[in-house]
Amino acid sequence: MTVLDTAAGQITGGPPAIGEPCVLIKLGEVVLKGKNREVFERRLQNNLRSAVRDIAPVRIWRRHGVMVVRVERGGGADVATVDALARRITDVMGIVWVHRAWRVGKDPDSVVGAALELMAGRTGSFAVRSRRRDKRFPLTSTELDRLVGSKIVEAYGLPVKLKEPEHTLSIEVDRDEVFVFTDGLPGQGGLPVGMSGRALVLLSGGIDSPVAAYRMMRRGLRVDYLHFSGMPFTGPESIYKAYALVRELDRFQGGSRLFVVPFGKAQQQIKSSGADRLAVVAQRRLMLRTGEILARRLGGLALITGDSLGQVSSQTLANMTAVDDAVELPILRPLVGMDKVEIMDTARRIGTLTISELPDEDCCTLLAPRRAETRAKIEDLRQIDRRLDAEELAEKLADSVQEHRPVYGEGNAA
Ligand code: ATP
Ligand code: MG
């Protein structure tokens, strides 16, 4: 490879002035246009700011298709802080890639300095990819690739490989500065939380409902959580699990609220209402009725469950239809078409699986009939509801909620 013979190509000795470490964010859903795009970016900016509040005060710049997060002057823009920012930002919905970048002046020297710093200590092949969003730069993209590439070869002896390199060094020339960065961390994708409104998740202690919550947050819903415990006929273990799950999921939105309803007595009433084989579906209807009342109080526009078609006998199409009949709000079931293996993979990735697998006394087992109905008839269920006075019962249950505020990261410091 030839070294470009430009004055700018010469690096002088001594430590290079490499500028300022910052985080460069590639946004998702780039198809969004016009007003939606504006809403997306404004929402994301706010969400980013609150997600990193505990790490450092930041300034966020919007550029074409990217955002730049910089530590406020005096906030200590050291590499460790910026690394922590980048890691935290990977949990914020609406982002495709998160890069720890160097922001440097618009001259080839500074770019080379930052590139050498970023590639230090690495082994394996690399490629340099430059883009000029602003064409006023002394070198073309190809010239810049060659210059920086040759300096890296010279300094570290790494082999250049343009196709599938082990490291990609990216250079983006902007209007006032240049960003230099290597491979980033993948983000969650999707839309910024809050962009699609608010909804209430029915959260059991199981594997599925936390994944359902995650998937709907990723589509821009801010979620509240509702858990039914078997109290006073079970211990509080399921509440601890729900709490731990919400605390883990809180990193995707912040400010999460968990509402807990003691459901044991209502279950007894269902049992003595003669619901028999319909008890499980009748109970699910009562849960959703209660959820609907609570959701309306909280400004929620939908209910979310972890149902997956056919996974258990209560999740047949007929039974889902029978549950839908009890409420007016839409019930979102993001896992309806997913296999258990896929659901578990997601649960593992988002850190909820190990919590869900902890033992507890699920309130539902209190009520399991010998043989559950798989084709519940809506008319029979309505009759059970009348006997129970389900509407009033649901109001009472909704009034009995206890609110908790699990915060991501709390309790970990001890
Ligand atoms: P999960 O893994 O979420 O517990 P599951 O496969 O065990 O789901 P079911 O027990 O039939 O399925 O529950 C279906 C859905 O009903 C759950 O995903 C959840 O949304 C809701 N649900 C069930 N039990 C409770 C509970 N105790 N509190 C709140 N919601 C519940
Ligand atoms: Mg369950």
Beta-carbon contacts of 381 under 8 Å, excluding residues fewer than 6 positions away, are 278, 281, 282, 285, 322, 325, 326
Return the CATH number at 372: 3.40.50.620
Lowest mean pLDDT among 14-23, 121-130, 234-243, 394-403: 14-23
For residue range 97-110, list pLDDT tens digits in order: 999 999 999 999 99
Please give the structure tokens belonging to residue 84.
């922590």
Tokens 């983006």 — which residue?
172
User: Does the beta carbon of 303 lie inside 6 Å of ligand 1?
Assistant: no
Domain assignment present for residue 167? The answer is yes
Measured in whole angstroms, how far is the alpha carbon of residue 375 from the centre of its chain?
Answer: 36
Domain closes at, from 166, 186, 206: 186
Domain assignment present for 289 = yes
Confidence of residue 16 (pLDDT cuts 50, 70, 90): very low
The answer to whether the pTM exceeds 0.85 is: yes
| 312 Cα nearest atom in ligand 1 | 11
Annotated binding site: 202-203, 227-228, 284, 306, 315
d(CA 178, CA 320): 54
Beta pairing, strands 402-404 & 258-262? antiparallel
> Is residue 266 in a domain?
yes
Measured from the alpha carbon of residue 288, the closest ligand is 1
CATH number reported for the structural domain that contains residue 107 in this entry: 3.30.2130.30
The one-letter amino acid at 177: E
Q: 61's torsion region: left (phi>0), alpha (psi -120 to 50) or beta?
A: beta
Taken as a whole, the chain contains a residue count of 414
| Range in 1-10, 92-101, 131-140, 340-349 the model is least confident about | 1-10
Q: Estimate to the nearest angstrom the gap between the alpha carbon of 271 and the chain centroid.
A: 39
Q: Do 225 and 168 fall within a single domain?
A: no
The pLDDT of 209-216, averaged and rounded, is 98
**243/176 same-domain check:** no
Q: Categorize the per-residue pLDDT at 264 as very low, low, confident or very high, splitting at 50, 70 and 90.
A: very high
- 130: pLDDT strictly greater than 90: yes
Q: What's residue 9's pLDDT?
A: 36
**Is there a contact between 381 and 285 (Cβ–Cβ < 8 Å)?**
yes
Residue 138 structural domain: 19-186
Q: Which pLDDT does position 414 carry in this prediction?
A: 38
CA–CA distance, 51 with 193 (Å, rounded to integer): 12
pLDDT tens-digit map of 161-199: 999 999 999 999 988 899 999 989 999 999 999 999 999
Query: What ligand 1 atom has the least distance to the C-alpha of 229?
Result: 27
Whether residues 29 and 150 share a domain: the answer is: yes
Whether residues 28 and 107 share a domain: the answer is yes
CA distance 254 to 243: 14
Determine the pLDDT at residue 316: 87
Regarding whether 180 and 221 lie in a shared domain, the answer is no
Query: Does any domain span residue 248?
Result: yes
Asked if 370 and 399 sit in the same domain, the reply is yes
Same domain flag for 76 and 175: yes
Q: Report the pLDDT averaged over residues 10-26.
A: 67
Residues lining ion ligand 2 (Cβ < 5 A) are 204, 206
Query: CA Rg, the chain, in Å?
Result: 27
Which residue out of 204, 353, 373 has the highest number of ligand 1 atoms within 8 Å of its CB and is therefore the one to mutate?
204
Residue 284 lies in a domain: yes
User: Mean pLDDT, the chain, as a whole number?
Assistant: 89
Nearest partner of 103 among 89, 95, 114, judged by Cα: 114
Query: Where does the pLDDT of residue 241 fall: very low under 50, low under 70, confident under 90, or very high at 90 and above?
Result: very high
Q: Is the pLDDT of residue 14 over 60?
A: no
Question: pLDDT band at residue 15, thresholds of 50, 70 and 90?
Answer: very low
pLDDT band at 17 (very low <50, low <70, confident <90, very high): low
* pLDDT tier, 251 (very low <50, low <70, confident <90, very high otherwise): very high
Ligand at minimal distance from the CA of 227 is 1
Mean of pLDDT values over 221-249? 95
Judgement on whether residues 366 and 276 belong to the same structural domain of the protein: yes
Whether 63 and 138 map to the same domain: the answer is yes
Q: Which of 186, 216, 247 is the last residue of a domain?
A: 186
Instruction: Using the predicted structure, report yes or no on whether residue 276 has a pLDDT greater than 50.
Output: yes
To test ligand 1's pocket by mutation, which of 200, 203, 207, 209 has the most ligand atoms within 8 angstroms of CB? 209
Residue percentage of the chain with pLDDT more than 90 = 72
Q: Are residues 110 and 44 in the same domain?
A: yes
Report if residue 237 sits inside a domain: yes
The number of domains in the chain is 2
Which residues have C-beta within 8 Å of that of residue 395, sequence separation ≥ 6?
A: 293
Instruction: Choose one of 150, 166, 186: the last residue of a domain.
Output: 186
* Cβ of 360 less than 6 Å from ligand 1: no
Burial class of 396 by CB neighbour count within 10 A (0 to 12, 13 to 18, 19+): middle
Taking only the tens place, the pLDDT of each residue in 345-393 is 999 999 999 999 998 766 566 566 666 677 778 999 999 999 999 999 9
Q: Which is nearest to 285 in space by CA: 217, 198, 211, 377? A: 377
What secondary structure letter does DSSP report for 262?
E
Is 298 domain-assigned? Answer: yes
Of 371 and 51, the structure prediction assigns the larger pLDDT to 51
For the stretch 280-321, pLDDT in tens is 999 999 999 999 999 999 999 999 999 999 877 778 898 999
Question: How far is residue 350's CA from residue 331's CA, in Å, rounded to a whole number?
Answer: 23
At residue 11 the predicted structure's pLDDT band, cuts being 50, 70 and 90, is very low
Is the minimum distance from the CB of 311 to ligand 1 under 6 angstroms? yes
Strand order in the sheet with 258-262: 331-332, 303-304, 197-202, 221-229, 258-262, 402-404
Nearest to 52 by CA among 65, 37, 67, 36: 67
Is 14 a domain residue? no
Residues 175 and 291 in one domain: no
Residues in a beta bridge with 226: 202, 259
Residue 340 shares a structural domain with residue 320: yes
